[in-house]
Structures are given as C-alpha cells and as structure tokens.
Chains A and B, each alone.
Chain A
Amino acid sequence: MIDHNLFESDSVVVRFAGDSGDGVQLMGTQFVGATALAGKDFGTFPDYPAEIRAPAGTTYGVSAYQIHLGAGPITTAGDKPQVLVAFNPAALKVNLPSLDRGALIILNTDSFTSRGLQKAGYSEDPRKSGALDGFQVVEIDIATHTAEAVKSFGLSKSDAGRCKNFWALGLVQWMFGHEIASIEAWLAKRFASNDAIREANIAALRAGHAFGETAELGAAIPRWRTPRAKFPPGEYRGIRGSEALALGLAAAGELADRPVLFCSYPITPASPLLHRLAQMGAHGVGVFQAEDEIAAVCAAIGASYGGAIGVTSSSGPGIALKTEAIGLAIAAELPLVIVDSQRGGPSTGLPTKTEQSDLYQAVYGRNADAPVPVVAARSPSDCFDAAIDAVRIALRHMTPVFLLTDGYLANAAEPWRIPDIDAYPRITSPALDPSRGREALFERDPATLGRPWVVPGTPGLTHRVGGLEKDIRTGHISYDAANHQAMTELRARKVASVADFIPDQEVAVGASEGDLAVVGWGSTYGVLYQAVQQIARTGARVGLIHLRYLNPFPRNLGALLSRYERVLVPEMNMGQLATLLRDRLDVRPAQLNKVTGQPFLVSEVVAAIRQELASLPKAQFRAV
C-alpha cells in the first residue's frame, strides 16, 4: 500500500514561526542539533523582529527560524518552505506568501480566536476564507495539548504555556524521524537547577513526539525522510557564524602567540560576537565594552600599540564613527582588525536585516588616500578562516584590516568539519633587526612593507608615533612635500602587496571559462553556488567566482574574468562590488541588486542568469 503521508526527497525546507516570545529561535536551534546528529546536511536562517518583545500576536512581532536539511551539499537555508509551523495567525499571515506550492502548514488552532485574528489583521478566518486552498493544513490545539502534558508539574499558566515550543518540537522530530534524546539531554543540562521547568519541558517534548504516533490524527500528519548527507570523512560539529568568528579570532591569537583584546560597543547585529568572546578568556582573549564606538576602536588601537591583537567590531553606523581612528592606525602603521557585521542602511536603517551595505565604506570610506585590506566571510563556518586571514594580514603588513560579515552569517548555522589547527601556519609580524637598534625602527619589511612592531616597555627603543605625517626613514614628524608623496605611495604599495600573499582566485563551481561569470562576495555564496550549479548542470557555460579578498583583488582576477563573455554581479546592495570591478579592473558587469533585507532566493539568481545568457549574442555592453 502506498503511504500518501510519507514524503521522500533529497532535501526539505522547514520554517517555524510565532511571536518573539514563543521560543521559536530555541526550537530552531534544537531542531538543527538533532538534524546534525541524524547525519543530514543543513543551512539555517533565523529571522527575528527588531523589537525585543513586540506586542503579542502582531505581524511585526513575528519571529521565524528556517532550516534547509537533507542530503546536500546544502549551502542555503532554502528558498521556499515546504513545511510551516505557525504558532499564531500573525505568523501564518507573514509567512504564507513565501511558502512552496502545496506546503504543509501546521497551525496552533488555540490561537485562532477572534482576538488573535484581529491582531494579525485578518478580517476573516483564513482557514475558512479560502486563503489556504492548495496547502495541506493540519490543525492542532498545541497549547491545549501542552497544558495537558505539563499539568502535573504545578506550573503557572504562563510557564506552562511556554512549554509549547518543545511540544511542537517533539512532533516535528517525529515527522522527520529524528530522536528526541539529545534534546532531552540538553533540557536536563539547561534547567538542571529548576526541576519543575525541566521536567515539564521534557514531558511536553515527549508528548508532542507521542502525538505523532498515537493520535487519531496521526495518520494525517505527514512524515518526511531525507537521505543522510555524503560528507568527506572527519569529525564534524554544527557552527554559527558568530561562534566561528569568535573561535577564529581566538585561534589567531594562539597562532600569533599574543593576547587578543576585543574592544567593542553593543550594536545589532554584531553583539553576539562580543558575548561569545567574553566567554573565551582561557584563550587569552580580553573583552572590553567601551563607552562608545570611537572609544572601542581607539582602545583596540591602544591595545595593538601595546603589543596585543586589537580587534574592534560593529555594524555600519558604528563603523562610520570609527572611521577617523582607522585612519590613525593606518598612519601609525599598527595592526587592527575591524569586524563589520553589515546591516540594512543608511543611518539606523534595518538593524536586524541583512544587506551587503558596507563594501564602499570599507574600501573607500576614509579621508585622504587611506587604503585598507578588506576580506569577507562567505558562510558561517568560513568566518573561522576569514578571521584568521584578517589577523594574519594585519600583523604581517602592520595595517588595519576590514573583515566583512553580516547578521545572516552571524546567526546562520551549518555543519563544519573541525579543522586541524596545527596545519595552519603561524602568524608573524615584522621584527626589528636587533643589531641595528633604533636606526631600524621604521625600516620596513621589503615584501610586506610592514614596520617592526616595537612596543612600549622595550628598552633602548623609545620613539614616537602618531597621526601626523612622518618621515619615511626616521619616523619623525615631516611636512616635507616629497616625503608625503613617498609615504602616500608607500601606504598604497603596502596594501597592494597583500596580493602577493593571497591565493589565486578560483572558480567555486561551474565552468572555468565560457559565457558568463557570476561574481559575488560575502554571505550570498550559498545561494549563488546553488544557482550556478543548477544552471551549469544543464550544460550552460557559467561559473561562480566568489571573492574572499576585496581589497586588493587576487592578482589573476582580471585575467580570470576575461575568460568569460559576460560578468553578472548579484549583490544585496545597489552595486558596490560592480563599482569596484569597474574601478579596479575596468570590467563592466551586469547587475542583480536586492535590498529587501532578505537573502536572495536561488530562483531569483537562476532567473537573472538565464536572462543574461539569453541576451548574450545581442549586446557587448549593457547599461547598468
């Protein structure tokens, strides 16, 4: 007999949505942990409102967590969910438009009261209005079932109500054939000191799981089965971008054998990095919460001046405040890492929404000719290597380095093969020739143009640095015209020399020459990868070139791009990389730009590639 309620597919996209107080994010992260243990590949995308606790039941208070799981390789959180768990009418209303055709919707019917419908802005119950036609809808009184499951623990009504995410999680675990033991173990640890809460949540989890198997409705609740992923052999873990970034900065400290001083001021969406690093003291990491963004970057510069690895972190508006101090670090030739968790702008903009907003700011955003190397992370796990890269460049060339990431990367998670830290080269900085003494204080390494990092406390080498132009040989203040020309050129050459140390640009997926090069950077990697792979499989001569190094570009980038007829740059901004390509390589790319605060969909990129390929024979140049 065919089981019409058993779905088998390579991958499936699931979305949990509810009030920001419903525990949807926790439900998502726990589901991801179980997915990993089940041997599946995954990509996640949390989507939460700017307000900490928006009024309950409203559409702008909806928090969601999307997981794409299956055999892989999975590089995105998925375009359109095939499963939605909606805890209230508002969650349904917000997420309905993004669902796949025929998607399964699990509704918490307890919340579909006239008051709940009204707060969500429904004039008519969507279950009766035809709004859900074409979807598979399963209505469950989740709140009622949860209350029943936990009633023996004597919780208050509100505490009992808070267990409903674990009841729903139990049900979803059953739907996907996942064990609940690992989640029980997590609950036991998390609520070790609160017996009632711990036992109630475990009971809710078990009740939800049992509901799938035993309820009369059970037969109607679909089940999904996806194959295990084919990972290369190794030891794996799940990783979020902020976690990988924190580990990467601490690892860089270990590789350089120097303390890391992380000086920051809280800002969305950069704060998770601050919180994570604050727990990494045993790795020689110190965290200083400064009085403002300017003080944060200045303290990091002071720390670097003192011989530590100074790191500061912020998002667009905060980076703008740090700009003058970054110029000081350039002038004083001190290492500094500036982590920019980009978000929608200008001004306060969209604090919780993702945007590739700050490439201009990182590359061009300072007074005078003030070049700075810029690197960007492309996936949650890649944040680890990007952080090590940024520190390595900063110390090798004695320069500030921008590390671009975003809220999507910080919060998204994926499986990660744990790297062998012993395989990473040590991080070094230019040293003073001791036989030359103070004469050599400003003698730069001929390959990196980094000056020796001589820190206060070193006997016999007292000297002064600062923001005034200095003599290229002695380091003393100099207003000499020819010297300023020479120093300006030296600063440019120093940053350009980074290209001598970075690997040649490779093609990430698809054709290595042909009709179309899709060029991207940062967190769009996963989507661009899927899109190019999908089209390349049809035989089209399309390749993905995804950039880690944005300033300077890899030396071979121009030659690589010239192997394709056309270039398409999809970006979550209005064309910042496109500008940079025109500026540096005289390439005139076509553009796909999106600034909705949501990541690209694979389908959007696929459509743009198809359009570009279709227009290929007609025009050599395209107005952008």
Chain B
Amino acid sequence: MSAAIDSKLTPKDFTSEQEVRWCPGCGDYAILKSVTRVLADVGARPERTVFVSGIGCSSRFPYYVETYGFHTIHGRAPAIATGLKLAQPDLDVWVVTGDGDGLSIGGNHLLHALRRNVGLKILLFNNEVYGLTKGQYSPTSRRGTRTPSTPYGSIDTPVVPGLFALGAGARFIARGIDVDKQGLEAVLAAAHGFDGAAFVEIFQNCIVYNDNVFAAFTEKEHAPDAQLRVEHGKPLVFGEDGSKGLRLDPRTLSLSIVDAKERPDEVLVHDETNATLAQLLLGLGPPEFPVALGVIYRNPAPRFEQEFVARHPTQMKRTAKIADALRQTSTWVVE
C-alpha cells in the first residue's frame, strides 16, 4: 500500500490542466466537480487512480482528472479496464461511459464486466441521446424519440440500464442526478467503497440534443413526488414530508403507493441486498411512480481480479524456470 497518506488532497489536486471541452451548460461539468470532490473526500491517491473511457462526450472525462487516464475506443473501456485490473488488481479504476458507448456498441463488455464482478467503478452517463455524433437516438431513448436518424420517431423499446445491470449479475447498482450534488456524491462515495463492480447510472442532461429529457423528475417542483431516495433499512417513502410510501401487492407482485402517514406498517423497508426488491425499484418511473435514486442494490461477492490471482497456481508470481520447463518431457542426449 501507498506509504504516505498524510497529506489531505483537495478537489483541485484532482483537476487536470486540460481545457474542458463540453458544451456550456452540459451536465458533465457538475459530474466532474462531484467526482473530484469525492476523490478528495475518500482519500484517493492520483497515482493509484485510473480513469478509463470509451468514445462519446462522457468519454472525454479522463482528460479532465489529474490521475492516470486511458481514452480508448468505442464501447471497449470495460474490457481494457479488466485487463488493467488483471495486471494491477489494487489500482482504483473508474470506467466512464455513456448510454451509447456502454449499452449499444459496448453492451457485451459491460455485461461481462458486471457478471464477473471486476473491481471497477462504472459511471454510465445516461442522456438518452448520442451527443458527439450530433443527436441520433440511443438505446435508452424512449419510443417515439424524433432525431435526425429517426424523423418519424424511434420504434425500439429502450433498455433500462439498472435492470440490464441487475440481469447481468451486478452486485452494486446505484443512481444519481448530474446536478444533485449531495445525492450524487453519496452514491459515488459508496461506489468507491464497494469491493467489486459498482454500476452507477447518472441522469445527465444534454442541453443541446435532449434538453430537459429528465425534467419530469429532476425539476424542483416535481422532485418530492417524483424522486424516491432509497436508504438501506429505511422505509421507502417520498413526497412532501415523506407522506407517500411503497408497498408490495402480494397478488400481482408489484409495487403500489400508499399513504405513509396513515398506513406506515404497510410501507416496505429498503433492503439493498434484496435483488427482487431492486428489480421492482429499478423498473419504477413517471408518471405513475417516482424514480428510485441512491444505492438500490448492494450485495458483495468476491472480486474477479482478486480471485484471478488467488486461484492462480502461484498467485501470478514466477516461481519456475523456463530452463526446467523445456525439459519437462522425455529428452535424449546426442553425444
């Protein structure tokens, strides 16, 4: 482990000298600020931290943090980060991806990084649109989304990132909103502390191609009724003063809304280790239901790269000599 963790670093220490090139007003700015603050708060060391990204607006992220960084190719960041973790299992590796990079071209790699439980903090910036290529619809765009490539409205059913992650076998699934500093930073800190693949979906506003796409639950006036901030061991309540709660309808195996003041006993208590509950919560959304935010699922399991080394016959150390291996068969001598 690193010797000197005496000097406390500040967010500025994690900010690179590179000029940030996102559109003015992009949600990415707020995420960048939160990430650098969390890195400082959790005591991360720049030289032990690596940001790996693919292609897209979000994937510019590594240039702007003062750590090691690898801006790779479209969709492949989880695979490259996996290789890095096999070489150096103790590094603090973050993958920054988007809805196109992570769920379209790179869906396969994301699936396998999650099911293997590679120790990566995977931040998926979801803005429901392709930004860098100028506004085509993405795999998270809602049906009917009109874009330059879908002038009559998109016809495919969108993927729900959290449900995809759960189906893939992810052991940590959380959600935050770009400009919700407090909520997002709590989620990022939790992801950092998770010993395995931590999947974080961040609702990120694209001011140019998909402005206000999440306004139904991110706008201040809707927020109380449209956001459910989950916390392990606490009742699943929302609305002004926590007046609404979620309960399970045992006949339909679905959630419904109850008056939390009148019938507090019926309100479900969040259990972040319960995959079935996580599935129900991840599927909620407006207009009928609030959007679940925070750590929705956390159920640790052995980390892939740790197992890779532990199960390796010599823990990746070189204990045998090639000169001997060359002779591990029948040999004969010619005089």
Assess the B312–A299 pair: CB atoms within 8 A. no
A543 to B46, alpha carbons, bound, how many Å? 59
B25 to chain A, nearest CB (A): 22
| Residue of B52, B82, B319, B321 most packed against chain A (CB within 10 A) | B82
A324 to chain B, nearest CB (A): 6
Binds B, one of A73-81, A277-285, A403-411: A277-285
Binds B, one of A32-40, A212-220, A521-529, A601-609: A32-40
Assess the B333–A236 pair: CB atoms within 8 A. yes
With a cutoff of 8 Å between Cβ atoms, the chain B residues found around residue A463 in the complex are 68-69
Shortest Cβ distance from A331 into B: residue: B73
Q: Which of A324-382 contact B (CB under 8 A)?
A: 324-325, 327-328, 332
Assess the A286–B83 pair: CB atoms within 8 A. no
Over the window 389-405 of chain A, the binary record of Cβ atoms lying under 8 Å from chain B Cβ atoms (1 yes, 0 no) is 00000000000000000
Which of B16, B73, B332 lies in contact with A236, CB distance below 8 A? B332
Query: Could you tell me which A residues sit within 8 Å of B by CB distance?
Result: 33, 36-37, 39, 182, 231-238, 247, 250-251, 253-254, 259, 261, 263, 280-284, 286, 288, 290-292, 294-295, 298-308, 310, 324-325, 327-328, 332, 418-422, 455-468, 476-477
Shortest Cβ distance from A290 into B: residue: B79
Which of A250, A324, A462 lies in contact with B47, CB distance below 8 A? A462
Over the window 101-129 of chain B, the binary record of Cβ atoms lying under 8 Å from chain A Cβ atoms (1 yes, 0 no) is 00000001101100000000000000000
Assess the B70–A259 pair: CB atoms within 8 A. no
Over the window 80-116 of chain B, the binary record of Cβ atoms lying under 8 Å from chain A Cβ atoms (1 yes, 0 no) is 1111111110010000000000000000110110000
A207 to chain B, nearest CB (A): 24
Assess the B330–A182 pair: CB atoms within 8 A. yes
Assess the A254–B322 pair: CB atoms within 8 A. yes
With a cutoff of 8 Å between Cβ atoms, the chain A residues found around residue B325 in the complex are 247, 250, 280, 283
With a cutoff of 8 Å between Cβ atoms, the chain B residues found around residue A231 in the complex are 334
Assess the A283–B76 pair: CB atoms within 8 A. no
A447 to B52, alpha carbons, bound, how many Å? 31
| Residue of A238, A284, A295, A459 most packed against chain B (CB within 10 A) | A295
Assess the B47–A298 pair: CB atoms within 8 A. no
Assess the B84–A456 pair: CB atoms within 8 A. yes
Q: Do A467 and B71 contact each other (CB < 8 Å), given the known contacts A302-B79, A307-B87, A325-B76?
A: yes
A1 to chain B, nearest CB (A): 35
Assess the B332–A295 pair: CB atoms within 8 A. no
Which of B80, B314, B329 lies in contact with A298, CB distance below 8 A? B80
Assess the A306–B91 pair: CB atoms within 8 A. yes
With a cutoff of 8 Å between Cβ atoms, the chain A residues found around residue B88 in the complex are 306-307, 455-457
A477 to B331, alpha carbons, bound, how many Å? 55
A461 to B63, alpha carbons, bound, how many Å? 14
Assess the A457–B86 pair: CB atoms within 8 A. no
Assess the A236–B91 pair: CB atoms within 8 A. no
Assess the A291–B319 pair: CB atoms within 8 A. no
| Residue of B47, B73, B87 most packed against chain A (CB within 10 A) | B87
Assess the A237–B330 pair: CB atoms within 8 A. yes
With a cutoff of 8 Å between Cβ atoms, the chain A residues found around residue B111 in the complex are 291
Assess the B73–A282 pair: CB atoms within 8 A. no
A506 to B113, alpha carbons, bound, how many Å? 48
A256 to chain B, nearest CB (A): 11
Assess the B108–A292 pair: CB atoms within 8 A. yes
With a cutoff of 8 Å between Cβ atoms, the chain A residues found around residue B326 in the complex are 237, 247, 418-419, 421
Assess the B76–A456 pair: CB atoms within 8 A. no
A287 to B173, alpha carbons, bound, how many Å? 29
22 contacts between A and B (CB under 8 A): A231-B334, A233-B335, A236-B334, A237-B327, A281-B314, A284-B317, A291-B108, A295-B112, A298-B82, A302-B79, A305-B70, A305-B80, A305-B87, A328-B72, A418-B326, A422-B323, A456-B50, A456-B88, A457-B68, A462-B68, A464-B70, A477-B63
Assess the A39–B332 pair: CB atoms within 8 A. yes
With a cutoff of 8 Å between Cβ atoms, the chain B residues found around residue A283 in the complex are 318, 320, 322, 325
Shortest Cβ distance from B315 into A: residue: A281
Q: Do A306 and B84 contact each other (CB < 8 Å), given the known contacts A237-B330, A332-B70?
A: yes
B16 to chain A, nearest CB (A): 8
Indicate whether B62 reaches chain A with its CB closer than 8 angstroms: yes
Assess the A259–B318 pair: CB atoms within 8 A. yes
Q: Do A247 and B322 contact each other (CB < 8 Å), given the known contacts A237-B327, A457-B91?
A: yes
Q: Do A418 and B76 contact each other (CB < 8 Å), given the known contacts A281-B314, A460-B47?
A: no
A291 to B83, alpha carbons, bound, how many Å? 12
With a cutoff of 8 Å between Cβ atoms, the chain A residues found around residue B81 in the complex are 302
A300 to B333, alpha carbons, bound, how many Å? 39
Indicate whether B22 reaches chain A with its CB closer than 8 angstroms: no
A420 to B326, alpha carbons, bound, how many Å? 10
Over the window 224-253 of chain B, the binary record of Cβ atoms lying under 8 Å from chain A Cβ atoms (1 yes, 0 no) is 000000000000000000000000000000
Interface pairs A-B: 8 shortest CB-CB: A302-B83, A306-B87, A466-B71, A299-B83, A284-B318, A298-B79, A282-B320, A464-B69
A310 to B87, alpha carbons, bound, how many Å? 9
Indicate whether B185 reaches chain A with its CB closer than 8 angstroms: no
With a cutoff of 8 Å between Cβ atoms, the chain B residues found around residue A250 in the complex are 322, 325
With a cutoff of 8 Å between Cβ atoms, the chain B residues found around residue A236 in the complex are 331-334
Indicate whether B313 reaches chain A with its CB closer than 8 angstroms: yes
A305 to B87, alpha carbons, bound, how many Å? 9
Assess the A305–B83 pair: CB atoms within 8 A. yes
B248 to chain A, nearest CB (A): 36
With a cutoff of 8 Å between Cβ atoms, the chain B residues found around residue A290 in the complex are 79, 82, 112
Shortest Cβ distance from B308 into A: residue: A286
A395 to B86, alpha carbons, bound, how many Å? 19
Indicate whether B18 reaches chain A with its CB closer than 8 angstroms: yes
A251 to B322, alpha carbons, bound, how many Å? 6
A409 to B326, alpha carbons, bound, how many Å? 18
Assess the B68–A456 pair: CB atoms within 8 A. yes
Which of A284, A310, A421, A456 lies in contact with B91, CB distance below 8 A? A456
A7 to B308, alpha carbons, bound, how many Å? 56
With a cutoff of 8 Å between Cβ atoms, the chain A residues found around residue B331 in the complex are 235-237, 418
A541 to B141, alpha carbons, bound, how many Å? 72
A620 to B86, alpha carbons, bound, how many Å? 57
With a cutoff of 8 Å between Cβ atoms, the chain B residues found around residue A307 in the complex are 87-88
Q: Do A421 and B323 contact each other (CB < 8 Å), given the known contacts A301-B83, A466-B62?
A: yes
A77 to chain B, nearest CB (A): 20
A218 to B69, alpha carbons, bound, how many Å? 75
A301 to B81, alpha carbons, bound, how many Å? 9
A289 to chain B, nearest CB (A): 11
Known A235-B327, A288-B308; 8 more pairs at CB < 8 Å: A36-B332, A294-B109, A300-B83, A301-B72, A302-B83, A325-B73, A462-B67, A466-B62
Assess the B71–A476 pair: CB atoms within 8 A. no
Over the window 25-51 of chain B, the binary record of Cβ atoms lying under 8 Å from chain A Cβ atoms (1 yes, 0 no) is 000000000000000000000111010
Indicate whether B66 reaches chain A with its CB closer than 8 angstroms: yes
With a cutoff of 8 Å between Cβ atoms, the chain B residues found around residue A332 in the complex are 70
Assess the B80–A288 pair: CB atoms within 8 A. no
Assess the B312–A476 pair: CB atoms within 8 A. no
A304 to B322, alpha carbons, bound, how many Å? 22
| Residue of A233, A238, A281 most packed against chain B (CB within 10 A) | A281
Assess the B79–A421 pair: CB atoms within 8 A. no
Shortest Cβ distance from A237 into B: residue: B331
With a cutoff of 8 Å between Cβ atoms, the chain A residues found around residue B87 in the complex are 259, 261, 302-308, 310
Indicate whether B316 reaches chain A with its CB closer than 8 angstroms: yes
With a cutoff of 8 Å between Cβ atoms, the chain A residues found around residue B318 in the complex are 253-254, 259, 282-284
With a cutoff of 8 Å between Cβ atoms, the chain A residues found around residue B317 in the complex are 284
With a cutoff of 8 Å between Cβ atoms, the chain B residues found around residue A418 in the complex are 326-327, 331
A455 to chain B, nearest CB (A): 7
A235 to B332, alpha carbons, bound, how many Å? 6
B41 to chain A, nearest CB (A): 19
A327 to B335, alpha carbons, bound, how many Å? 50
Which of B67, B71, B83, B108 lies in contact with A468, CB distance below 8 A? B71
A299 to B78, alpha carbons, bound, how many Å? 9
With a cutoff of 8 Å between Cβ atoms, the chain B residues found around residue A251 in the complex are 322
Which of B68, B86, B322, B333 lies in contact with A234, CB distance below 8 A? B333
